[in-house]
Amino acid sequence: LFAGLATDAALDLDAHLAAQLELMGGSFTGGQRAFAGAARLSYRAAPGALGASVGYTDVPGQQRGTLLGVFAERDEAPSLLVALGAGVELKSPTADLYFAELMLHLMPTDHLLIQTGISYAQAEIKQTRADIVIHVEYAGFRLGDTTVAGYVQYGGNLFTRAALGLTVYFDRDTVRGRQRRHGAHGLRFK
């Protein structure tokens, strides 16, 4: 089991350009610590966004990795955003991974986000190379100028990962507005 905290900050550089930073730290039940960080730069125009991301993960004494990726997003409908990503994870001491991903961001209401998709990675250790990802988040609790959301997440095939969490957004935006304004999705990092 893993427990940790993550933070995410977005900065609009001009009308179309934005930067995003994510940091995470935590530990496994055995006491082993883990850290990760990612930065994204994106260009957003009317139909969607294009961007690049770089990330770093470290489980001291066991595994390190650097992620380099590109991504594209397209607004298909008011309640649907499609995101594609591809890149490489330069890992040590294990072999590098090349990946491609497709994610659908479904927003049936102003408070509900359903993300689903597949992540395909070239890897020797997997029986099948495509992971299925499902993330459901409900962001309907407002406290002053903040929004509190709860989420559940599942991913994997050979290695199953499940998560349960709480997110605090320092805004009163709707799920749709937040996904389109600050939703630069470098997919593999999460």
* pLDDT of res. 189: 47
Give pLDDT, residue 123. 63
| Local mean pLDDT, 10-residue blocks, the chain (190 residues) | 89 88 92 93 88 93 93 91 92 87 92 90 64 89 92 80 90 84 58
Question: What integer pLDDT is reported at residue 172 of this predicted model?
Answer: 86
Q: What is the pLDDT of residue 160?
A: 78
Cα dist from 113 to 5, 77, 110, 120, 145, whole Å = 21, 14, 8, 23, 20
Query: Tokens standing for 44?
Result: 């957003």
What pLDDT is stored for residue 44 in this prediction? 87
Nearest CA-CA partner of 154 in 189, 187, 121, 117: 117
Residue-level pLDDT at 180: 73
Residue 175 phi, psi dihedral angles, 5° rounding? -60, -45
